[in-house]
Structure 1
Amino acid sequence: MEPPLPSPIPFRLPAALPPLAALALLAGCATPPAASPPPEFSAYVVMGEQGAAVARVVTSAANCPALASDGKALAMTVRALPATLAQRPTASKPEDSKASVFPMLTCEAVLPAGTASASVYGQPLPVPRAAPRRIAVIGDSGCRMKKKDNEFQDCHDVQQFPLATVAAAAAAWKPDLVVHVGDYLYRENACPDGKAGCAGSPWGYGWDAWHADLFQPAAPLLQAAPWVVLRGNHESCQRAGQGWWRLLDPRPLQPGRDCNAAADDSLGDYSDPYAVPLGGDAQLLVVDSAATTWKGFKPGAPGFERYRDAYRKLDILSQQATWNFALMHHPILGVGVELKPDGGYLWHKGDLGLQQSFGSLNPGLLPKNVQTVLSGHEHLWEQLSFSSGHPSQFIAGFSGSLEDTVPMPPVLPPEVLPAPGVAIEHFSTWIDGFGFMGLERTGPGDWDVTVFDRHGQIKNRCKIAGRHSVCGVAQVK
């Protein structure tokens, strides 16, 4: 039974091409011939600043392919050459780390505004809609393999690592846009001997791990719609930052901003916010929160000023539209909890690093035009609405990674509120269930929210109206 609704590289011409046909192609007057697909490739579209749609191809071919855009040739350029990147300091001990190998060529091209159709290697690419009305939200999706915590998920078991199932269900929902709220790669350390569930799994931060954790299982969803990609702490420079910059971030790849050398991490770990328009005076505001800390910044820490700068830029961007979703991996207004070894509770309140930096400029934490915050990080689904004037917070970190949270009470104790000065009016959670979240626009500042399990079955329904939200079920069972 459904829950009740709540109350209120350049283009190369084939050698045998006749001269006149060549001129026609160069002029964009003919459909480029589709090259034979290489043995391995991934093709997808990520949304960048002000809605620029960046087509990406990761390919085992020696050269970038031709891309067809509305029947015309569009040159793809090299974003990153194949490389073996020397081992750098990581979040793991040196003996548990290794060099990152990227044997594939990464190519890209910005699709012209208004593109109606695009393809590469004969495979259709998803193209953006000017006013997407249906948005699928996933997050925290990789298979956890971490020696430090002795956590090794059964990556070969689709029941234990269900991203492929989730992605197929989300694709079947036919979204206009996909938002991934961060944390893509979790296969950080080698699977221990005797652990059949992950035996032989690729690990580290190279292409093989990225392919296993994201590009292979999420292929149906990558083909279904363009993606807005958030950066999580798992994509910081000490972790999977090299792959983040090569594969996902929509902006140009700059030397030094690639996480290859630890000496450059102060550049590679931060990037400016940007906006993705949704039409109808609404937009998504994407915030890179990879280097924040839930424990808060120590005096003089560079992150404090970097995130103050991010807030100022976020505030300016928010003035471009009346209705804004702030997208940041770390929930500034969310709550989570895990069991400590002694059986007690370790509460995760809203990210203190962001609260310190943003709060030093605005005690309300977010610009006034932000109505809703979308995050991940906590491995659960959660909704909070506030009577204190704060924007609603949704967490969608429940799409594949090991879920280490425990059930929360229906009413949060005062001492574990997500931030000082907040007053909760509505609170809803789903613990220990995998799935995705759907957003459907119903008015200028109004959205319907549907929470789906891994198979696309409805578990909860919510409504967003301005800064407020309410769900039909307080605790999904």
Structure 2
Amino acid sequence: MPFRLPLRLATLAVALLLAACAAAPPAGDDTPFTSYVVLGADGAAVARVLTQAPACPAIVLDGKAHPMTLRAAPATIAQRATVSPPELSKPSVFDVRVCEAALPAGVASASVQGRPLPLPPADPHRIVVLGDTGCRLLKKDDAFQACNDAAQYPFATVAAAAAAWHPDLVIHVGDFHYRENPCPAGDQGCAGSPWGYGWDAWRADLFAPGAALLRAAPWVVARGNHESCTRAGQGWWRFLDPRPLLPGRDCDAAANDDRGDYSDPYTVPLGADSQLLVFDTAATTWRGFQPGDAGLAHYQDTYRKLDALARRARHTIGVEHHPLLGIGADLKDAGKLRLLLGDAGLIQSFGAINPRLLPDNVELMLSGHVHLWQQVSFSSGHPSQFIAGFSGTAEDIVPIPDPLPPGTSPAPGAVIEQLSAWIDGFGFMTMERRGPDSWEVQVHDARGAVRNTCQVRGKRSVCAHTRVH
């Protein structure tokens, strides 16, 4: 009788093999092109191909070849003002052609040059959620992550394990790109890393380490503050945003940032009278807006539009980068603990229209930005907040008190009934549908092992462990 590995061991072996392959240094990836699928308004699927070939390839839909459209030609974008001083900035070199094609509803197969493209199911039941995946190289914070060490920068391992879970859909809650400044001389942890906002840094931060997951399922993408116009906004518009790339809404020139930094929300159907509501919070501020700030009016306009969109389905899950209802922690003033509550800019903007901050049928919020995993459930009728900012970027390490100080709240009127968190651990989150308004959420470590399980019913959620150690 032939020897067979038990199913769980076989699955683990496949995940480890994928991780080993995906963790190879980007310089060794000789793949001639990158392909993936993003979902936009009303769930419209767009296939993208990034190639250094002189022309866009054909896409094959149900056995018939069709031309792809050029989204962005190779270009070098002149140096512009960024969050870094001029000597730590440079022109953005995009020496790759961006091609795209709409995937019609009902298409049964799609491929490019023999490589299959993932197609969106009508009723996704298995969803991977992850965020904050780039390798942090930032001089102003003196933060230089060891991008060359798969243990300290494990996004490739995380992406491979998440792909081995076989999701129907991937949700990335923002902050794809972190390699902003050059690695210091003599730092072997990040020696040789590309930096800046061009293709080489985007490839190293997302497309090479995330290749297995990009091929596994279509992606829904939220824009993070690291994709604002003064950071990696040029690559965001070229590579990821599902909408058309328009002159002046591309972050190429600082004079147009008021267009490039804001965009309208949209919905992605999930079947069974459910939807994702995706909105752009890249330019909010945790400090709050000053009177007359353009951002205040922009985000009030965002709220009015998402309020109308939320009415399209009975059950709505919000997807954005900055957690309205989350809690972080750091050490300030000679090591004194400081809790970071909600997001002042969004609370200020949305709260001026709706003191409860979100439409009534938003039952769940998925966010990133805080570099940890977190769940918060409320007895006050606010939606549960999940944060999945723990998938590659250097982690937050200051523990959140357990229990919280009495009266702690991320936003006015929000009464916490349970907070669960995992600090200083890399991984990804999964969601499996258990009913029209019910989900089982699991927290996986970088290699896919389950570290916590939560049940979501409507707006409320409960997890097996309040703190994962």
Cα pair 1:44 1:55 within 8 Å, conserved: yes
Q: Which residue does 2:118 correspond to in 1?
A: 126
Residues 136 and 144, structure 2, Cα contact 8 Å, conserved in 1: yes
Return the letter of the residue paired with 1:196. Answer: Q
Equivalent position amino acid for 1:473 in 2: H
CA contact (8 A) 1:175 1:225 kept: yes
Three-state SS of the structure 1 residue aligned to 2:140 is coil
Note the residue ranges of structure 2 that are not aligned, 5 or more in a row: 1-29
The amino acid across from 2:374 in the alignment is E
Deviations 1:319-341 (A, max 9, x none): 00000001110000000011237
Among 134, 137, 140, the alignment partner of 1:142 is: 134
The residue that corresponds to 2:460 in the other structure is 468
Label 1:411 to 1:100 Cα distance change in 2 as closer, same or farther (>3 A): same
- Give the secondary-structure state (helix, strand or coil) at the position aligned to 1:148: helix
User: d(CA) in 2 for partners of 1:132 and 1:156?
Assistant: 35
Q: Aligned residue for 1:234?
A: 226
Instruction: Give the TM-score normalised by structure 2.
Output: 0.93
* Structure 1 residue aligned with 2:325: 333
Is the CA contact (8 Å cut-off) linking 2:229 and 2:254 kept in structure 1? Answer: yes
| Aligned partner of 2:75 among 68, 71, 83 | 83
Q: Is the 8 A contact 1:339 1:405 kept in 2?
A: no
Equivalence for 2:304: 312
Q: In the alignment, which residue of structure 2 is the partner of 1:158?
A: 150
Instruction: Choose which of 394, 401, 410 in structure 2 pairs with 1:409.
Output: 401
Q: Which residue does 1:171 correspond to in 2? A: 163
Q: Does 1:422 align with 2:440?
A: no
- Cα drift, residue 414 of structure 1: 3.9
Between the aligned partners of 2:174 and 2:150, the Cα distance in structure 1 is 21
1:199 pairs, out of 166, 191, 201, with 191
The aligned counterpart of 1:380 is: 372
Residues of 1 paired with 2:41 and 2:397: CA distance? 34
Counterpart mapping for 1:262-273 below 5 A: 262-273=254-265
> Matched residues in 2 for 1:404 and 1:395: separation?
13
**Which sections of structure 1, spanning at least 5 residues, go unmatched?**
1-37
Q: What corresponds to 1:98 in structure 2?
A: 90
Partner of 1:63: 55
Identity %: 64
Bigger mean CA offset, 261-270 vs 71-80: 71-80
For the aligned residue pairs, the C-alpha RMSD in angstroms reads 1.0
Distance 2:336 2:161 in 1: 36
TM-score by length of structure 1 reads 0.91
The Cα of 1:416 is off from its aligned counterpart by 4.1
Q: Distance in 1 between matches of 2:102 and 2:134?
A: 28
Q: Distance in 1 between matches of 2:263 and 2:144?
A: 31
Amino acid at match of 2:136: R
3-state SS of the aligned residue for 2:377?
strand
4+ residue runs over 4 A deviation:
none
Aligned to 2:249: 257
Offset at residue 90 of structure 1 (A): 0.2
CA shift, 1:39, in A, is 5.9
SS in 2 for 1:161: coil
1:303 and 2:303 equivalent? Answer: no
Q: Which letter does structure 1 place at the counterpart of 2:299?
A: Y
Equivalent residue runs for 1:315-394 within 5 Å: 315-340=307-332, 342-394=334-386
Number of paired residues?
A: 440
Using the TM superposition, give the Cα deviation of residue 410 of structure 1 relative to its aligned residue in structure 2, in angstroms: 1.7
- Distance, in Å, in 1 between the alignment partners of 2:298 and 2:258 is 10
Q: Indicate conservation of the 8 Å contact 2:396/2:423, yes or no.
A: no
Q: Matched residues in 2 for 1:336 and 1:354: separation? A: 16
